């Protein structure tokens, strides 16, 4: 049973103050840290913490989760969760939440701004002006209207970018390994090669799963149209940056914009090292696709709310690793949360234990997802510790929580 006054929260990587305020409003003890922590540091800090909040730089490994003696949930205050060992979290009955939609608009706007800037050669013109060179020539500068944008990965970001790019007069093609419905006049490509060979601008919006490491290299860059533009605002590991530099310095690509990198500095002010530094036709940004005040405020509020509802009610709506269950809270009830292996007969066994001890069930909801099941049971009246011990002792039990 969690005492609100004793809920410890550790927030890393300068998570927005709105999240801090929301969690403190519940009476939780919140510690906010400006930078990321490495595995050794996090193992030292995680003991006694019930809620952990991170962004993209902190890796929550199996070793960290093994050291987490009190952790019940992790909030990823970002889109991706590949920095978290989700399998290990599930085995421990720890719920993971993220913000899959909150910074979509911010990423899309940055992509559009960079597409326009590179198509108009604004970065080069800006550099010349700062060096005192007046070059008013239109050579190499184009409108985005009428040009073809190729989107690799047609998820939340890719689809919104597709719609806004069409509003600017661009033609849109997309490629996705999943079957996705085209929005507006966007055209689905049957293969990645088809998209690369027909697009003036190629932008990546794929996830960081291990299978995507090195996904875009010399072969893919070589298939892009001469003079085309490349963007990566997804994950740093998916692009071979040496091959990208070669494509840019050879003149095969006219420009690139990169917001994510295979190895990123741990904190603000640390040196940034990249093969792409110093190239005049490259826009480099420090992983700021979702770093607008609006997006960070929305993310802070969204994920903090998910964590609060999980702690107070046990609801797992939009959890990325546990079955989604939301049972309206009832007054004068005790709520038992049972995370278990998804095997036949678990519900019958739970209810048999409750019936044996004459515990009255007022509400119950079960959902399964892959290897795991998640059961919420509301009961009225008192119950003995024997009930909880028997539930914990079930061979299928992963974790048991009691809310009052």
Active site positions, annotated: 235, 264, 287
Instruction: Evaluate the CA torsion angle 166, 245, 234, 176 in order and state its sign.
Output: positive
Q: What is the H or E stretch that residue 32 is in? A: strand 29-32
Alpha helices by DSSP H, listed for 184-332, are 192-198, 218-223, 241-249, 293-313
CA–CA dist 376, 364 (Å, integer):
6
> Do 149 and 189 meet the contact criterion of CB atoms below 8 Å apart?
no
Residue 223: strand, helix, or coil: helix
CA–CA distances in Å: residue 36 to residues 33, 40, 41, 276: 8, 12, 9, 24
Plot region of 303 (φ>0 → left; ψ -120 to 50 → alpha; else → beta):
alpha
CA–CA dist 299, 18 (Å, integer):
9
Helix axes 293-313, 17-25, angle to 10 degrees: 20
CA–CA dist 359, 382 (Å, integer):
8
Taking residue 129's Cβ as centre, other Cβ atoms within 10 Å add up to 11
Structure tokens at 40: 């050794």
Q: What is the H or E stretch that residue 201 is in? A: strand 201-204
CA–CA dist 192, 243 (Å, integer):
18
CA–CA dist 185, 246 (Å, integer):
34
Would strands 372-380 and 360-369 be described as parallel, antiparallel, or unpaired?
Answer: antiparallel
> Do 97 and 319 meet the contact criterion of CB atoms below 8 Å apart?
yes
CA–CA dist 368, 244 (Å, integer):
44
Taking residue 111's Cβ as centre, other Cβ atoms within 10 Å add up to 27
């Amino acid at each position: 049973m969690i005492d609100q006054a004793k809920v410890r929260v550790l927030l890393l990587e300068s998570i927005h103050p709105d999240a801090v305020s929301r969690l403190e409003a519940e009476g939780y003890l919140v510690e906010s840290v400006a930078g990321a922590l490495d595995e050794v540091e996090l193992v030292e800090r995680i003991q006694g913490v019930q809620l952990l909040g991170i962004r993209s730089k902190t890796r929550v490994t199996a070793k960290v989760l093994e050291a987490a003696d009190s952790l019940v949930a992790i909030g990823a205050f970002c889109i991706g969760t590949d920095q978290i060992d989700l399998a290990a979290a599930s085995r421990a009955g720890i719920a993971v939440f993220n913000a899959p939609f909150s910074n979509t608009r911010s990423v899309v706007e940055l992509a559009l701004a960079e597409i326009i800037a590179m198509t108009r050669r604004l970065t080069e013109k800006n550099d010349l002006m700062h060096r005192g060179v007046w070059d008013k020539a239109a050579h190499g500068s184009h409108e985005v209207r009428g040009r073809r944008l190729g989107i690799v990965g047609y998820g939340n970001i890719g689809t919104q970018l597709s719609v806004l790019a069409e509003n600017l007069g661009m033609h849109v093609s997309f490629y996705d390994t999943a079957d996705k419905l085209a929005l507006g006049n966007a055209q689905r490509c049957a293969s990645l090669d088809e998209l690369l060979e027909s697009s003036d601008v190629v932008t990546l919006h794929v996830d960081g799963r291990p299978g995507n490491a090195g996904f875009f290299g010399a072969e893919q860059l070589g298939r892009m149209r001469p003079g085309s533009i490349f963007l990566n605002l997804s994950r740093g590991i998916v692009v071979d940056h040496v091959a990208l530099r070669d494509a840019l310095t050879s003149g095969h690509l006219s420009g690139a914009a990169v917001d994510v990198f295979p190895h990123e500095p741990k904190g603000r002010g640390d040196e940034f090292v990249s093969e792409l530094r110093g190239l005049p036709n490259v826009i480099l940004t420090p992983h700021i696709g979702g770093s607008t005040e609006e997006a960070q405020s929305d993310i802070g509020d969204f994920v903090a709310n998910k964590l609060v509802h999980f702690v107070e009610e046990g609801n797992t709506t939009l959890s990325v690793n546990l079955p989604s269950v939301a049972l309206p809270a009832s007054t004068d009830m005790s709520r038992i949360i049972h995370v278990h292996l998804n095997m036949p007969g678990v519900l019958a066994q739970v209810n048999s234990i409750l019936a044996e001890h004459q515990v009255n069930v007022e509400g119950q909801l079960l959902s399964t997802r892959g290897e795991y099941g998640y059961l919420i049971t509301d009961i009225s009246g008192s119950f003995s510790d024997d009930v909880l011990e028997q539930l914990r002792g079930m061979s299928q039990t992963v974790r048991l929580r009691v809310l009052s």
